[in-house]
């Protein structure tokens, strides 16, 4: 599904990632585990196409999407769902409109948009909240909206950057279960960033440990 070959990235003259070689298989829930500043989020941004590698190549589904200093396939053409740490919900749009915006960008007709949104609202337990604004929702509800928005276009690849870090432990556990349920039901490949070992144990089918911009030789397979 995703392959990184000798990927190196500098930010403001600082080496953030060095010689990353990584293969993510279709259907995996791969967790990138490591402390803040080790390069996890930068790796996600590279896969998403938000930044380009200074050296190395990135492939998605066998297609070259980034190559040493160049983004060959832009983010909007990579068919990737992304859940940011700050959720990045559009505050002036209702729950329904947040989801519909993604589908409008794909050119889906109104009837198909309505069907897809209805399915995703049901899968993320958001029934009855479609007309609410993000500011009217609890933290857990906002989190489910962010998940629904990332998944409503049915992307084959989903990236999540510490999306549960601001929630209390009980809610984090319940939403972690929901992410696993959705991944198994829909079948997308997941790359999930965290520094929390509890989340890792709950979510991962495979773990890659990151440290100081590189991949630790210790890799834990949880299958």
pLDDT at 164: 84
Q: Which residues of 93-121 are buried (b: 16+ CB within 10 A; e: fewer)?
A: ebbbebbbebbeeeebeeeebeebbeebb
The structural domains of the chain, ordered by start, are 1-78+157-163+180-223 (3.40.50.300), 80-154 (no CATH)
State the sign of the Cα–Cα–Cα–Cα dihedral 68, 56, 209, 45: positive
pLDDT at 220: 54
Give, for all 223 residues of the chain, the pLDDT tens digit. 999 999 999 999 999 999 999 999 999 999 999 988 899 999 999 999 999 999 999 999 999 999 999 999 999 899 999 998 877 899 999 999 999 999 999 899 999 999 999 999 999 989 999 999 999 999 889 989 999 999 999 999 999 998 888 778 888 888 899 899 999 999 999 999 998 888 999 999 999 999 989 987 545 555 5
pLDDT at 71: 93
pLDDT at 221: 52
């Amino acid at each position: 599904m995703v392959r990184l070959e000798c990927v190196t990235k500098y930010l403001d003259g600082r080496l953030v990632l060095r010689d990353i070689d990584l293969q993510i298989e279709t259907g995996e829930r791969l967790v990138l585990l490591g402390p803040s500043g080790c390069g996890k989020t930068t790796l996600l941004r590279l896969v998403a196409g938000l930044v380009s590698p200074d050296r190395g190549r990135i492939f998605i589904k066998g297609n070259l999407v980034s190559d040493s200093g160049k983004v060959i396939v832009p983010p909007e053409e990579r068919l990737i769902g992304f859940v940011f740490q700050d959720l990045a919900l559009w505050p002036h749009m209702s729950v329904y409109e947040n989801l519909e915006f993604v589908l409008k960008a794909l050119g889906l007709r109104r009837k198909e948009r309505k069907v897809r949104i209805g399915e995703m609202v049901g899968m993320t337990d958001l029934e009855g909240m479609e007309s609410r604004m993000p500011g009217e929702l609890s933290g857990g509800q906002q989190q489910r909206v962010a998940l629904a928005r990332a998944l409503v276009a049915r992307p084959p690849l989903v990236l999540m950057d510490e999306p549960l870090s601001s929630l209390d432990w009980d809610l984090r556990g319940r939403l972690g279960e929901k992410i696993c349920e959705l991944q198994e039901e829909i079948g997308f490949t997941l790359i999930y960033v965290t520094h929390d070992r509890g989340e890792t144990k709950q979510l991962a089918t495979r773990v890659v440990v990151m440290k100081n911009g590189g991949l630790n030789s210790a890799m834990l397979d949880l299958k």
